[in-house]
Amino acid sequence: MGKGIVYLVGAGPGDPKLITVRGLECIRLCDVVVYDRLASPRLLKHLKPGAEKVYVGKLPDRHTMKQEEINQLLVDLALQGKIVTRLKGGDPTIFGRVGEEAGLLREHDIPFEIVPGITSAIAVPAYAGIPVTHRDLASSMSIITGHESPDKLDRSIQWDKVTLATGTLVFLMGVAKIGYISEQLIRHGKPASTPVALVRWGTRVEQQTIVGTLETIEEQVREANFQPPAVIVVGEVVRQREQLMWYERKPLFGTRILVTRARAQASALADRIEELGGEPVEYPVIEIRESEDPAIAEQLQAAVQAADSFDWLIFTSANGVDSFFRWLRRLRVDIRRFHRAELAVVGPGTARALERYGLLAEELPETFQAEGLAEQLEARLRPGQRALLPRGDLARDVLPESLREAGVDVWAVPIYETVLAHSDDDDEVLDQLRSGAIDVITFTSSSTVTNLLERLRQQGIAAPETLLQGIAAACIGPVTAATARAAGLDVAIEPAEATIEALLDAIAAHRHDRREP
C-alpha cells in the first residue's frame, strides 16, 4: 500500500464561508478529516460519502488528544494510504503548531501541503468593525500569543520592545491573562487610556465584543464573565468600531436557526439566513420523492392523452411544479399539449418555480394558501370545466373540493410523496436543542412539523414538544402554524404573507424585539 498525503489546512476563523477555495477542495477529496473545535463543524458537510471524521479538539480544561498524539495520528493515517485533511482553526502557521505536524510527516517521508487560512488575528477584529491597520492610526501590527503563563510570557515576549514596536497589538488566546497583559503594557509605556477590545467567538453567531481601556478591561472581563476563545486588540484602531461595526448590525445576528425543509430547498433558505447574519442549521426532516405507484403513472398517462381538454392547470407548491415537469420528460410529453389550460398557482414561490420553465401564471391569489386560490378562482369557474392538479400525497382537499362544488371536473393527481428524511446529524442537532443553542425553528409545511417531532421520537425523546419549549417556532402560514400549535409548540413567528422572505423578515423583527431593552 502506498503512502497517502496530508493537507494541513487553515479553516479560517469560524465562519465556514471564510475558508479558502483550496481548503474546501482538500475537505472534499480527503478520506479522513482530523479537526478541532475552532474549525466550523459545518465544513464537514462537504466531506465525500464515507469519509472518516476524527475530533482532536482542545478545550480550556481538557485536551482530547495531546499534540504529540495528533502528530503521530497524521503519520499513521497517511501510512495507511489515506488522503488526510488536518483542519485547523485560523491559519495553521500562526500558533497552529503546523511545524511540529509537518516535521514528523517529513521524517516519515510523507508528502504534505500547507494550505494557508484566514487568521483570526485579522478576520475577528474585522467582523467587530476594527481594522487592524489604518492610515491615520496604525501602519503596522504585531500578533502575539497570550496563552502562556506569566513567567513564560515574560520569557517569550520582550515587553519593552513589543509594547511600542507597532501601532496595533493583537493577542491570541489571552483572555485569562488579560490583567497581566494590560499591566505589562502600561508598565512599558502604553497609556492606561489605550483602547482595548476583546472579541469572543468572532465571525460566528455567538460573537461578543467588549471594549474598554488597558486600565478598565480586566474588571470588565471579570464582571461580564467573558470566556475564551477571544482575540484581544490593543490600539487606537479599536475606536473605529463605533463607525465600522457591521456584522452585529445584521438583522439576524446572534440567531441560530434550525431549517427543517427538504434538502433541495434548505440550502437556498440557509444562504439567505447567512446573508442576514444568522447561522442556519440544516436538518431536513422531509424528503420529496416521485410516486412509484403504477396507478399514478396511469392517471398521468390519461391526463396527457386528454391534455387539450383541460381548462386549468393548477399548482399548489414548487415541488408540484418540478415533479410535474419531470414526469412530462419521462413520458416524452411537450407542455404545449396543455395549450388550452390557464395556469394558476397558490403563491409567489410556486409562480417562480413555473417561471423557471418559461411559463407565467395567470392567477395568483392575495392569500397564499389553498383557500385564497379557491376564492380567487371562484368568479372564473364554470360548470363542466376540467382542472388538473399535480400535487403531493399530503395535500389538503380544500381546493379540489371547492372546485368540484363549482361543477369543475377535477383531476387531483398525487405525483410526489413527502416522506420522513434521515440524517447523519441527529446527535449534533439533538445536543444543540438540549443545550439551548437553537433560537428559532423554521417550519414551511405541516409535514416539517410532524416529521421533526417523529425524528426526535426516533432518537428516544418521548415528549419532543417539551424539548422544544422555549424555542421560537417560525411558521410560514396559518395552516402550518395551526399544526405546530396543535403539537404543543411555541408559535412565536408567523408572517403576514406565506413567503420565505416574509418569514425571514418576521424572524428578524422578532429577534429585534427580543433584544430591545
345-393 pLDDT, tens digit per residue, is 888 888 889 999 999 988 666 655 667 777 778 788 899 999 999 999 9
What's the confidence (pLDDT) of residue 96? 85
What's the confidence (pLDDT) of residue 368? 59
Question: For a pLDDT cut of 70, what percent of the chain falls above it?
Answer: 94
Amino acid at 353: A
The larger pLDDT score, comparing residue 464 to residue 363, is at 464
Domains observed in the chain: 5-118 (3.40.1010.10), 122-249 (3.30.950.10), 256-285+421-515 (3.40.50.10090), 289-420 (3.40.50.10090)
Q: CA 439 to CA 471: how far, in whole Å?
A: 6
The confidence band for 62, taking pLDDT boundaries of 50, 70 and 90, is: low
Q: Quick one: average pLDDT of 307-318?
A: 93
The confidence band for 150, taking pLDDT boundaries of 50, 70 and 90, is: low
The confidence band for 63, taking pLDDT boundaries of 50, 70 and 90, is: low
Q: CA 80 to CA 5: how far, in whole Å?
A: 10
What's the confidence (pLDDT) of residue 315? 93
Q: Specify whether the CB–CB gap between 195 and 211 falls below 8 A.
A: yes
343-346-348-353 Cα dihedral, nearest 10 degrees: -60
The larger pLDDT score, comparing residue 58 to residue 459, is at 459
Q: CA 101 to CA 7: how far, in whole Å?
A: 11
Sign (positive or negative) of CA dihedral 66, 70, 75, 81? positive
How deeply is 244 buried, as exposed, middle or buried, from its count of CB atoms within 10 A (0-12, 13-18, 19+)? Answer: middle
How deeply is 8 buried, as exposed, middle or buried, from its count of CB atoms within 10 A (0-12, 13-18, 19+)? Answer: buried
Q: Specify whether the CB–CB gap between 209 and 199 falls below 8 A.
A: yes
Out of 325-334, 354-363, 422-431, which region has the weakest mean confidence (pLDDT)? 422-431
**Cα 132–275–249 angle (5° rounding)?**
55
With 70 as the cut, is the pLDDT of residue 148 above it? no
Q: CA 476 to CA 72: how far, in whole Å?
A: 51
With 80 as the cut, is the pLDDT of residue 295 above it? yes
What's the confidence (pLDDT) of residue 372? 72
Q: CA 30 to CA 44: how far, in whole Å?
A: 11
Q: Which of 476, 508, 455 is nearest to 265 (CA)?
A: 476
Q: Quick one: average pLDDT of 174-182?
A: 92
3-state secondary structure 394-413: CCCCHHHHHHHHCCCEEEEE
Give the tens place of pLDDT for each residue, 487-503: 999 999 999 888 889 99
Which are the catalytic amino acids? 36, 58, 173
What's the confidence (pLDDT) of residue 263? 78
Please count the other Cβ atoms lying within 10 Å of the Cβ belonging to residue 475: 29
With 80 as the cut, is the pLDDT of residue 265 above it? no
What's the confidence (pLDDT) of residue 396? 85
Give the tens place of pLDDT for each residue, 448-461: 999 999 999 999 99
Question: For a pLDDT cut of 90, what percent of the chain falls above it?
Answer: 68
The residue behind cell 400549535 is 485
With 90 as the cut, is the pLDDT of residue 244 above it? yes
Q: Specify whether the CB–CB gap between 410 and 285 falls below 8 A.
A: no
What's the confidence (pLDDT) of residue 158? 86
Q: Specify whether the CB–CB gap between 251 and 277 falls below 8 A.
A: yes
Q: CA 441 to CA 266: how far, in whole Å?
A: 13
Sign (positive or negative) of CA dihedral 133, 138, 140, 141? negative
The confidence band for 484, taking pLDDT boundaries of 50, 70 and 90, is: very high
What's the confidence (pLDDT) of residue 88? 92
Q: CA 245 to CA 125: how far, in whole Å?
A: 10
Q: Hey, what's the cell of 287?
A: 424528503
Q: Specify whether the CB–CB gap between 415 and 449 falls below 8 A.
A: no
With 70 as the cut, is the pLDDT of residue 12 above it? yes
The larger pLDDT score, comparing residue 153 to residue 310, is at 310
Model pTM above 0.75:
yes
Q: Quick one: average pLDDT of 310-319?
A: 92
What's the confidence (pLDDT) of residue 208? 96
Amino acid at 144: I
Q: Quick one: average pLDDT of 146-155?
A: 66
Q: Which of 503, 324, 330, 325 is nearest to 411 (CA)?
A: 324
How deeply is 21 buried, as exposed, middle or buried, from its count of CB atoms within 10 A (0-12, 13-18, 19+)? Answer: exposed
With 80 as the cut, is the pLDDT of residue 423 above it? no
How deeply is 286 buried, as exposed, middle or buried, from its count of CB atoms within 10 A (0-12, 13-18, 19+)? Answer: buried
Angle (deg, nearest 10), helices 217-224 and 178-187: 170
Phi, psi of 492 (to 5 degrees): -100, -15
